[in-house]
Structure 1
Amino acid sequence: MPTNPRATWGFVEFVVVLALINALTTFSTESIVPAQIAIGAEFGINDRIPLQYIISIMFWGMMAGEWLMGPLSDAYGRRPIMNLGLLLFVLGTCVVLLSHSFDGILFGRFIQGLGMAACKITTRAIVRDSYSGDEMARISSFMAIIFIFVPMVAPVFGEIVFLAYGWRAVVWSWLFGALLLIFWFFIRQKESLPIEDRRLIAWQPIKTGVLSIIRNRRTLGFTLTLGCLWGFQLQYLSNAKSLITDIYGIERIGFVMGLIAVGMAFSAAINGSIVRRFGSIRLAKSAIILIFLLSIVDLAVLNVTNHVPWIYFLGSLMIKFSLMGFCYGNLTAAGMVYASKIAGLAASFMSALSSVIGLVLSKIAGMFYNLHLDTFYYPMAIMSALTLLALMWSLSAPATKN
C-alpha cells in the first residue's frame, strides 16, 4: 500500500515542501523577468524576441526531461529522482552564475529545466501514491495555494534585488532556496513508492503504458487541454516585461505581475474547499468557458478602442489568471486518476506532452509579437478557443479507467 504522508511527516509539511519544490520553476522564472532587458543589454542583445528565450528555454529543458523522469521514478522510487532533480537545478544555477555569454545563460537555464522536470514529475507521483480522485484534486489545490503565492512575490522580490544588487544576485537567491529545499526534503521525506510496486525500465512496459494512456481519451484530452492552457499562460509570461513596460510605460513590473497572480492564489484556495462538492471536472470546465468568453470580450474592446485601456488590460488578466486556479490542479488530478499503477509514467506523459503543446503554441505566437496589443490578444483568443475545444473533445468520451 502507498505510504500515507501523515504517517511519515506532518501533513502541512508534506503540502508545503512539495509545493515549494514545485514553485522553484515559477520563482526562477518570474523573479528574472524584471531583469530581462538588462541581461540582454549586458550581452549586446536589444531584440525582444531572443530575450523571450531566457524564460522559455527552461521549459524546453523541462519538456526534454519529463519524458525520462517518470519511468525513472517508477523504477527507482520517488525520493532519489527528486534529489537528482534538485541537484540538477543547483548545477544549472551555478552555470548561469558563472556565464559570461548569453548562450551560457541559456545553457544553464536548460539544465535547470531538466532538474525541474524531475521535481515536477516526482511531486505529482508522490501525491498520486497517497491520494486519488477529488481528494487528490483537493490536495493539489492546497499545494497550489502555496505554489501560486510564489508568482505573487517573485516578481516584486526579483525587481527589488535586481535594482539593488543586479541580476546575478537574483540568481544567487535561486541557489540558496534550492539548497535549503534539498536539505529539508532529504531529511524529512520518506519514500512513497513501495519496492514491490516499482517497475523496471523496459521498452515494452513503457510502450504498453503509454498506449494505454493515449487510448484513454479523457486522460489524453485533459493533457491537450493543459497544453493549450499552458501556451496561453506562457505567451503572457514571455512578453510580460514588454507588454507592461514598453506598451503601457509601467516601470514597476514586479508589483504588477504580483497583482495579476493574486487571483490564482485565492481561486486555488476556494477550489480546495469546494472541489469535493462540485467535482474537479465541472469546476475546470466552467473556468475554461469563462476564459474563452473573456478572450472574445478582449478582442471586442481592442477593436472598439484601438488601444486597450490599462485598467481593462490589468483587470482582464487578473480575472483570467484567477480562473486558471480552477484548472491546473483539477485537470491534472482528473487525468492521473486513471493511472494508479503507472503514476510516474502518466505524470511524465501528461507533463511532457502538455509542455510540448504549450511551448510550440507560445513560440508560434511569440514570432508574431511586435509590441502591438493585437499581436498579443489574437493569439491568446485562439489558444483559449483551442483549450475549450480540447476539453469538450475529452469530455465527449466515457469516463473509463485503464
Structure 2
Amino acid sequence: MHSPLTEPTAPAPDRGGVAIGFREFVCIVAMLMAINALGIDTMLPALPAIATALNLSSVNQAQWVVSAYMIGFGATQFIYGPLADRFGRRRLIILCLGLYATTSLLASFAASFEVMIAARMMQGVAAACTRVLAVAIVRDRYSGREMARVMSLSFLVFLAVPMLAPSIGQLILLVAPWHAIFLFLGGFAIFVLGWVSLRLPETLHPEYRRAIRLKQIGAAMRTVVTNRTSIGYTLALTLSFGAMVGFINSAQQVFGAFGEAEHFPILFAFIAGGMAFASILNSRIVMRVGSRRVSHTALILFISLCAIHLAATLIFGDNLVSFSLFQFAAMFCSGLLGSNFGAMAMEPMGEIAGTAASVQGTISTLGGAIIGIIVGQNFDGTVVPVVAGYFLCSLGILAMVLFAENGRLFRPHHEVRVPQ
C-alpha cells in the first residue's frame, strides 16, 4: 500500500522552471487554506475583549467580527477565477497575500467597530483568493479520486490550524492585547507569501488560458451552475459549511453557557479533531472505495446523528459532554463530506477550473456564511439553535445530493468532460 504522501501519478508539467515535489505541493496548498482558518478561529477567544474594547452592546454583536470576514470571503470569490484563468495562479496569490497582511495591520489598529468591520471584510476579500486558487491549482494537476486524495492530505495539514488556532489566540491574549492577534495573522501571510514566491510554479495549462471576455466568462459560469453535478454538490457543500459556521459563530458563547469558557480552546481542538481524523481516513480509502461511496455513507450517518441529537436535546436537554461528543462526530462526517463534495463538484470543470472554483466557492462560502449568521444571531443561551441548524442543513444536503445524482446514491462515476 502506498504511503498517503506517495505521489499517485505524475502530475501535469509545472510551468516556470521550478521543480516542486508532491509533499511540498500539498503543504503549500494547505498553508493557503490555513490563511482562512486562522483568520476565523484565532480570534474566537478574543471576541469578548473586542466587544468590550469597541463598546459593543452584546457578544452576539461581536460575532460580526467573524461574519464580516466571511461575507467578504464569500462574496468576492467569483472575481478571482476569471482573473486566474487569464493571468495565472501565482501572481494573483502573491498580490492577495500582500493585501491580507495589510488589512490585518489595519484591523489591529482599529479604534471603532466600523473600522474593524471594514478591515475584516477586506481581509476576507483577500483570503478569498487563496481559497479559489488553492482548489484551482490542485485541479490543474489532478482529477477525480486523485484530486480528492490530494485535497484530503491538504485538509489534514490545514485542519491542524482550527485545532490549534483558538489556543494560539488564547496564548497571545496571555501576553498581549487582542490587537496582537491581527499582527500574528499579517506575519503568517508574509511567511506564506515568501514561500509561494520562491517555490510555487505557475500551474495553469497554457492551452486553458482565457481572455477576460464577459461573454466567455458568462458562458463558463453558466456551465458551472447548470451542470447537475457541479451545482448539486456545490449547494450540498454550502449547507454543510453553513451548519459548521453556525457552530463557529456560537462556539465561544456555547461553552461559556456551560461554564467552560476558560477551556474553550481545548474543547474546540477536540471537536476540530473529528474533521482531522476524517481527512486522514479519507486520504487512505478514497482511491480504493471512491468519493461517492465514502461521502454518501457519511451523509446517512450525519443525518442520523443530527436527528438523534436534536431529539435528545429537546427532550432531555444537553450538557457539555454530550454536546462535545456530537460536535466531534458531526465534524468527522463533515470532513468526509467536504473534500469529496468539493472534488466531485469540480470533476466536470477541468477546462474552466479557475472560474468553476471561484463560482462554486462564492456560492458555498457566502451561502454558508448567511446560514451561519442566522444560526449565530439566534443564540439564546442554549444549544438548540446550533443543533437544529445542523439537522435542517443535513436534510438539505441530502436533497442536493439526490438532485446531483438524479435520485440515486452510491452510483458509479463516469467522468464528464466540459466541451471546448
TM-score normalized with structure 1 length = 0.96
Match of 1:217 among 205, 228, 236: 228
Q: Which residue of 2 aligns with 1:316?
A: 326
Q: Within 5 Å, give how 1:123-272 maps onto structure 2.
A: 123-272=134-283
C-alpha separation in 2, matches of 1:159 and 1:46: 23
Deviation at 1:281, TM superposition (A): 1.9
Q: Within 5 Å, give how 1:94-113 maps onto structure 2.
A: 94-113=105-124
Deviation at 1:369, TM superposition (A): 2.1
Find the residue that maps to 2:351 and give its secondary structure: coil
Find the residue that maps to 1:339 and give its secondary structure: helix
C-alpha separation in 1, matches of 2:209 and 2:94: 18
Q: Deviations over 1:262-318 (max 9, x none)?
A: 12111101101110111112211111221111111111211221x202111110001
Match of 2:312 among 297, 301, 315: 301
Aligned partner of 2:138: which letter?
A: V
Deviation at 1:88, TM superposition (A): 1.5
Which ranges in structure 2 are unaligned for 5 or more consecutive residues?
1-10, 408-412
C-alpha separation in 1, matches of 2:225 and 2:126: 26
Does structure 1 retain, via aligned residues, the 8 Å contact 2:350–2:417? no
Deviation at 1:205, TM superposition (A): 0.7
C-alpha separation in 2, matches of 1:356 and 1:168: 27
- Which deviates the most, 12-21 or 45-54? 45-54
Does structure 1 retain, via aligned residues, the 8 Å contact 2:73–2:366? no
CA RMSD of aligned residues (A): 1.7
Q: Which residue of 1 aligns with 2:382?
A: 372
The size of the alignment, in residue pairs, is 401
Q: Which residue of 1 aligns with 2:5?
A: none
- The yes-or-no answer on 1:41 pairing with 2:52 is yes
Q: Which residue of 2 aligns with 1:118?
A: 129
Match of 1:344 among 354, 363, 382: 354
- Which deviates the most, 143-152 or 249-258? 249-258
Q: Which residue of 1 aligns with 2:410?
A: none
Deviation at 1:372, TM superposition (A): 2.0
% of aligned pairs identical? Answer: 27
Q: Deviations over 1:90-127 (max 9, x none)?
A: 12101101211111111111111111111111111111
Deviation at 1:4, TM superposition (A): 4.5
Does structure 1 retain, via aligned residues, the 8 Å contact 2:233–2:400? yes
Find the residue that maps to 2:336 and give its secondary structure: coil
- Which deviates the most, 332-341 or 164-173? 164-173
Does structure 1 retain, via aligned residues, the 8 Å contact 2:249–2:373? no
TM-score normalized with structure 2 length = 0.92
Deviation at 1:160, TM superposition (A): 1.4
Q: Deviations over 1:113-147 (max 9, x none)?
A: 11111111111111111001100100011101001
Q: Which residue of 2 aligns with 1:58?
A: 69
Aligned partner of 1:311: which letter?
A: V
Deviation at 1:375, TM superposition (A): 2.4
Deviation at 1:374, TM superposition (A): 2.0
Deviation at 1:172, TM superposition (A): 1.5
Which ranges in structure 1 are unaligned for 5 or more consecutive residues?
none
Deviation at 1:158, TM superposition (A): 0.9
Deviation at 1:376, TM superposition (A): 2.4
